[in-house]
């Protein structure tokens, strides 16, 4: 349906406008209500379109337990990307790291362990000891590392999150939301796809001790390739899961369930619901020319318009043929025009109901024209 955007959009911002809006099913394509989730909060979103398919208490501040380590790993990966640390760094294990309670990978005080090994021990085995060792290496202390975590949280839009440590062990004010955890999860998958593959590793051995990944869905569903479990008495049993099937990736966040079985069961139910009743399509690519428009008093008369990022949409299954696209363009566009300037809107509707609206932008810059062009266009404008 969308092979010819100029024809489809003849009737003449994405993620800031649509981010986290719940999807609305067409009356012609009823979708059953999502499953009831027995927990303190949950969220199911599509990775590409950011459409929420199910949520409850997604903005409620909750203790994240070891879901915290998704951000810990993200910060370390950013430091690697920026060249501040490397996978080969040999990290001396401190007494504090060694003594950290809870889940551990069993590093030993006074011995050196590579950053890569510690990162895997934290991701796969959920080692609190590894988390502290990594934090101390990156920032000098866990407290300073927590400041880094909070800086990245703000940058990613995790405005209802505050981290007090790198492990997720209970601490005053150490809180996040299902929505915020989904944000850092998406950033991890998008920015570090090679490292994200570690989240699907089912077991890891260190110091002759083999431990299994606590994410039971890795054994139950071949589509699942991450992400992280968490548990404390206060937080309950939590799980962030991600799965990809037929080109569609979903992220589920389940917090505050009563058992390991419950968090796996509830997460699986959400993922099954999303894949069963919805589908995601890439409608247009970033930089694709959707149409052209007249520019007045410029060095060129025609300006190409399109989108500044890929446009994905999540809709009820078997409704793709019923999508309708249109666009509106600002009247009388005057030069100069900068590349990326918003000059209109693209609207996508399903059965007459608007489900998406995004900015239509200039795909090129056009400078002011010469004197003759200016005179010509001035006359033409007066005659309109």
Q: Tell me which residues are annotated as active site.
A: 66, 69, 126
Distance CA 170, CA 195 (A): 27
SS (H, E, C) 308-374: CCCEEEEEECCCHHHEEEEEEECCCEECCECCCCEEEEEEEEECCEEEEEEEEEECCCECECCHHHH
Residue 148: CB atoms within 10 Å = 20
Q: For tokens 């866990």, what's the residue?
A: 142
Q: ∠ CA 268-211-177 to the nearest 5 degrees?
A: 45
Distance CA 217, CA 154 (A): 30
Tallying the residues shown for the chain, one arrives at 384
Residue 271: CB atoms within 10 Å = 23
How distant is the alpha carbon of residue 73 from its chain centre?
Answer: 15
User: Residue 337: which residues within 8 A CB-CB, separation 6 or more?
Assistant: 295, 298, 303, 343, 362, 365, 366
Q: What is the DSSP string of 69-120?
A: HHHHHHHHHHHHHTTSS-TT-EEEPPHHHHH--SS-----TT-EEEHHHHHH
Phi first, then psi, for residue 32 (nearest 5°) are: -65, 155
* DSSP 8-state assignment for residue 62: B
Q: ∠ CA 151-134-164 to the nearest 5 degrees?
A: 45
């Amino acid at each position: 349906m969308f092979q010819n955007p100029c024809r489809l959009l003849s009737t003449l911002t994405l993620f800031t406008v649509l981010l986290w809006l719940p999807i609305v099913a067409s009356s012609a394509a009823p979708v059953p209500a999502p499953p009831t989730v027995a927990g303190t909060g949950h969220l199911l979103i599509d990775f590409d379109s950011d459409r929420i398919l199910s949520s409850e208490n997604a903005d409620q501040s909750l203790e994240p337990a070891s879901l915290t380590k998704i951000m810990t790993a993200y910060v370390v990966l950013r430091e690697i990307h920026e060249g501040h640390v490397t996978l080969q760094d040999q990290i001396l294990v401190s007494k504090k790291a060694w003594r950290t309670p809870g889940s551990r990978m069993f590093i030993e005080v006074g011995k050196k362990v590579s950053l890569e090994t510690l990162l895997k021990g934290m991701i796969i085995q959920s080692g609190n000891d590894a988390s502290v060792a990594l934090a101390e290496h990156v920032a000098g202390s866990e407290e300073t590392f927590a400041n880094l975590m909070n800086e990245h949280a703000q940058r990613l839009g995790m405005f209802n999150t505050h981290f007090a440590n790198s492990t997720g062990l209970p601490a005053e004010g150490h809180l996040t939301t299902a929505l915020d955890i989904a944000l850092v999860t998406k950033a991890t998958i998008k920015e570090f796809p090679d490292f994200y593959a570690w989240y699907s590793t089912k077991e890891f051995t260190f110091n002759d001790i083999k431990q299994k990944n606590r994410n039971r869905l890795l054994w139950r569903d071949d589509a699942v390739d991450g992400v992280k479990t968490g548990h404390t008495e206060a937080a309950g049993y939590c799980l962030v899961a991600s799965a990809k099937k037929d080109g569609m990736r979903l992220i589920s966040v389940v917090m505050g369930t009563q058992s390991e079985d419950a968090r796996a069961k509830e997460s699986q139910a959400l993922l099954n619901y999303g894949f069963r009743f919805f589908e995601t399509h890439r409608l247009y690519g970033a930089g694709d020319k959707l149409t052209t428009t007249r520019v007045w008093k410029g060095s060129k008369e025609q300006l190409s318009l399109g989108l500044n990022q890929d446009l994905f949409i999540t809709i009820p299954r078997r409704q793709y043929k019923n999508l309708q696209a249109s666009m509106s363009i600002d009247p009388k566009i005057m030069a100069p025009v900068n590349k990326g300037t918003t000059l209109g809107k693209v609207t996508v509707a399903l059965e007459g109901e608007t489900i998406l609206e995004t900015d239509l932008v200039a795909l090129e810059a056009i400078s002011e024209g010469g004197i003759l062009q200016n005179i010509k266009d001035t006359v033409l404008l007066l005659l309109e």
